Amino acid sequence: MNELPKDSIKCLDKGFVRLVDSMGGDDAIVQSARVSYGKGTSKVSQDRGLIRYSMRHRHTTPFEMVEFKFHCKMPIFVARQWVRHRTANINEYSLRYSEARDEFYFPDPDNIEFQSALNKQGRMGEVDSKLKHKVQKYFKEISQRSFEIYSELNEAGVARELARAILPVNLYTEWYWKNDLHNLLHFIGLRSDGHAQYEIRVFSDAMASFVKKVAPFAWEAYQDYAVKGMRFSKIEQIFLQKKLPDRVIDDIQEDVAYQLTASLHANKPRSDEDLFPLYKDQGGLDGPEDFNLKWSSGEIETGNVRELREFKSKIESLRQA
Ligand SMILES: Cc1cc2nc3c(=O)[nH]c(=O)nc-3n(C[C@H](O)[C@H](O)[C@H](O)COP(=O)(O)OP(=O)(O)OC[C@H]3O[C@@H](n4cnc5c(N)ncnc54)[C@H](O)[C@@H]3O)c2cc1C
C-alpha cells in the first residue's frame, strides 16, 4: 500500500499520520474543569483563561477528556520508541497473521549525518556524498536481500511469525494509536523536542498539527507554559535572590502594577478618578502625576489578571531577604 490515505500527513519516505477520530476539544476541557456546567455558559475568553490556568497549574485531568485516534505508518525502529508511551491503546499490523510488505525506510541524504560527539543519542555533522551514497546503498541492499529471503521462506511454508524475524527494523509497520490529550501532549513534548530522534520527531510533529486544530487553546497554553515555559530550581532561585537587585524587582513590579490596572480596567471599565486608586491597590509606587503621564502614553499592555498576580508574587519571592 504505497498510496497515502485521504487527509493523512506524509512522514518520512513512506509513512503517514492520519487522524481517524477525535472526541472533544477545548470545550470538553472547559466542561470537565467546571464539572457541572454545560457548553455555552461562559465566554470564549473565560474558556481560554480556564484552560490556560489549568495548564499553568498542572491540573491535568480535564485534558484527559479529549481523545485522539490516529492511524500511523512508521518504520519498526520508530514504533519501538513510540510504544514506550504506555498510556496509549494500540492495535498493530500483525506479521504473524499477514505477510510483510516490501516497504522499507530509506533515509533522505539530508538526514544522514555523523554520530554526534556531544550527544551520545544524536547525529551531527555533514557526511560527504560518497559516504551518503554508501549508506543508502546498504540500506537498500539489506532491505532487498532480507525481503527476498523472507519471501522464499514464506513460499516454502515456514511460519510467518518466524520468517519475519529475518526482516530489519527499517521495515514499515502500521497501527491505530489512541490516547488522551494530556498524554498525547506528554508524548509530543518528548518526541517533538530537539533531543528526540529525527525519524520519530516527524511523526510527533504531524500529530501536533492535528492537536492544534482540534484543541487550539490547549495547544496554545501547552506551548506557553510547558514548551516555552521555564522553571527554576531551588539552587537557581537562591542564585537569583543573591544577584537580582531590589531596584530591578521594583521596576518589574511597577510594570506589572500598570498592566494589572490596565487589564482590570479592560475587563470592567472604571471611571477616570478610580484609576489611580486601582493602580495603588495593585502595589503601584508612582505618584498621581507620573501615573497620569504613563497612563496617557497608551503603551501599557494588558494580560490575564490572575497570571499577572502570580507573576508578581513569584518576582516578590526573589527579593533579597
Ligand atoms: C530523548 C529520549 C531518549 C530516551 N532514551 C531512552 C533509553 O536510552 N533507554 C530507554 O529504555 N528509554 C529511553 N527513552 C524512553 C523514556 O525513558 C520513556 O520510556 C519514554 O519517553 C516514555 O515516557 P513516559 O514513561 O513518561 O511516558 P508514558 O509511558 O506515556 O507514561 C506517561 C506517564 O504515566 C506514568 N506511568 C505510565 N505507566 C507507568 C507505570 N507502569 N509505572 C509508573 N508510572 C507510569 C508516568 O508518570 C509517565 O511519565 C528515551 C526517551 C526520550 C524522549
Angle, vertex CA 317, rays to CA 314 and CA 318, nearest 5:
100
Considering Cα of 49, then 54, then 58, then 64, what sign does the dihedral take? negative
Q: Say yes or no: CB of residue 121 within 6 Å of ligand 1.
A: yes
CA distance 95 to 103: 13
Chain-centre distance of CA 33, in angstroms? 21
- Contact status, residue 203 vs residue 211, Cβ threshold 8 Å: no
Residue 41 has a pLDDT of 56
For the segment 140-149, what is each residue's pLDDT rounded down to a tens digit? 999 999 999 9
For the segment 68-114, what is each residue's pLDDT rounded down to a tens digit? 999 999 999 999 999 999 999 999 998 988 899 999 999 999 988 88
- Contact status, residue 47 vs residue 30, Cβ threshold 8 Å: yes
Cα separations (Å) of 105 from 24, 142, 167, 295? 34, 11, 12, 61
For the segment 157-195, what is each residue's pLDDT rounded down to a tens digit? 999 999 999 999 999 999 999 999 999 999 999 999 999
Residue 97 has a pLDDT of 83
The answer to whether residue 319 is catalytic is no
Q: Rounded to the nearest whole angstrom, what is the distance from the C-alpha of residue 46 to the centroid of ligand 1?
A: 34
Per-residue pLDDT of the chain in tens (321 residues, 90 and over written 9)? 568 999 999 999 999 999 999 999 999 999 999 885 555 556 777 899 999 999 999 999 999 999 999 999 999 999 999 999 999 999 999 898 889 999 999 999 998 888 777 777 788 888 889 999 999 999 999 999 999 999 999 999 999 999 999 999 999 999 999 999 999 999 999 999 999 999 999 999 999 999 999 999 999 999 999 999 999 999 999 999 999 999 999 999 999 999 999 999 999 999 999 999 999 999 999 999 999 999 999 889 999 999 999 999 999 999 876
> How large a percentage of the chain has pLDDT more than 90?
85
- Contact status, residue 283 vs residue 315, Cβ threshold 8 Å: no
As to burial, measured by CB atoms within 10 angstroms (0-12 exposed, 13-18 middle, 19+ buried), residue 286 is: middle
- Contact status, residue 4 vs residue 16, Cβ threshold 8 Å: yes
* Ligand 1 binding pocket mutation candidate from 77, 89, 190 (most atoms within 8 A of CB): 190
Q: Say yes or no: CB of residue 84 within 6 Å of ligand 1.
A: yes
Single out the catalytic residue among 48, 52, 191, 201. 191
Q: Say yes or no: CB of residue 87 within 6 Å of ligand 1.
A: yes
